[in-house]
Structure 1
């Protein structure tokens, strides 16, 4: 992505130099940030428009079928597993992961940048989830809740935060210069965590499957946006013309 951004910035710069005599070298970066913001706002509007399908009978039927299928696997051992996974997607779960991640970043990479970036992605996803929940105002499923919940249902905050936070860690893994088998193992583990957290919310009776899908989509928006902005900042810092 960084190489593509550099090429795009160069193309914008060359175009602006040809068109304008008075040229500000920061302008290409401003244009890209504006484009990124437009993409995010458009994506959010599209996401909100898609929530109209929450009221359709077809989606309700799909939700019921998937929920019934997931609940058919309930057992004491699986319940303990999914309670653990759902707690991994709670505040204290992320806090524990961030503490461990901070130690690894400090001891191995000798910098805090990745920890700060990951924390920012998580905060943005969590804050925007609360706003989306209030705007859409969907009630929780009317079945037994195996864990306590206090907020609204759509989109799933656990699914959205998991996709944003652990999805960003997947992106960082692709950048690390480590053994390819270790890298593949870490990425596989993170994908497993994202999926398990989402499924746990259906299994525990606190979310519809469509809540999980909506959370994954919204979380993915934030991952893509943050990766774009972080790479843009890094290129801007290293650009000798700025």
Structure 2
């Protein structure tokens, strides 16, 4: 809220410009604060995982979704197991690459090269960071699934992190296309639901510990939020 002195002596147009500027500044500061909080949450989880403090609860949660007497099998009917595998594919490298490539090409055709570079850059850099962190922590996969033994390291969950980066970044991009609050909520809601489903599917399949998924969500959300905050700054400067 501006002081009454400014409201009385400035034109409505100038007042609107000042309010927009202050709102943008507050948005950027809030974005930076949330990124810092999410990164801190990731670091706390990573510290507990490294110390082995999450192992018992990780195993307990995984066992809830394994067939009694046969830990290699997920609980539930065949159609449910197939549905879980279909959902987990939404966070796969192939699906996300096709999705991000399609969006980037559209943005280039729409002469929004800055936005295209930002979206592609956020996802690619997020993928590289995931691989780096997996190599650093080198956590073995759960032993509930034979398939898991053939995959990369467990921490953090790549599907969870990259799906968070991709879907939340695209959700923010779509939200910029409308001024209606309910449509913005819808775009962000779909992005959050897709991200959540992919992460949960990794636990159901027994290829990741719950702590892997939560850590992936935290860092992926931080990466997407950092990209959105950067986009806000660049937009104000006319770069996007």
TM-score using structure 1 length:
0.71
Q: Is the 8 A contact 2:122 2:165 kept in 1?
A: yes
Residue aligning to 2:103: 101
Residue number among 41, 52, 61 corresponding to 2:56 in the alignment: 61
Supply the distance in 1 between the matched residues of 2:77 and 2:118 (Cα, whole angstroms).
38
Unaligned residue ranges in structure 1 (runs of 5+)? 12-31
Tell me if 1:187 matches 2:191: no
CA positional deviation for 1:4 = 9.0
Q: Is the 8 A contact 2:90 2:96 kept in 1?
A: yes
Residue aligning to 2:9: none
More displaced, 116-125 or 206-215? 116-125
CA positional deviation for 1:49 = 5.0
More displaced, 63-72 or 182-191? 182-191
Instruction: Give CA-to-partner distance per residue, 1:73-132, whole Å, 9 cap, x none.
Output: 43311222222222221221012223443566567x563443332211111111111111
Supply the distance in 2 between the matched residues of 1:8 and 1:120 (Cα, whole angstroms).
26
Q: Is the 8 A contact 1:149 1:206 kept in 2?
A: no
State the secondary structure of the residue aligned to 1:190. Answer: helix
State the secondary structure of the residue aligned to 1:153. Answer: coil
Structure 1 vs Structure 2 CA RMSD:
3.7
More displaced, 61-70 or 196-205? 61-70
Residue number among 73, 77, 80 corresponding to 2:79 in the alignment: 77
Residue aligning to 2:201: 200
Supply the distance in 2 between the matched residues of 1:43 and 1:7 (Cα, whole angstroms).
24
CA positional deviation for 1:221 = 1.7
CA positional deviation for 1:56 = 5.5
Q: How many residues align structurally?
A: 213
More displaced, 133-142 or 111-120? 111-120
Question: In the TM superposition, what are the counterparts of 1:19-30 in structure 2 within 5 Å?
Answer: none
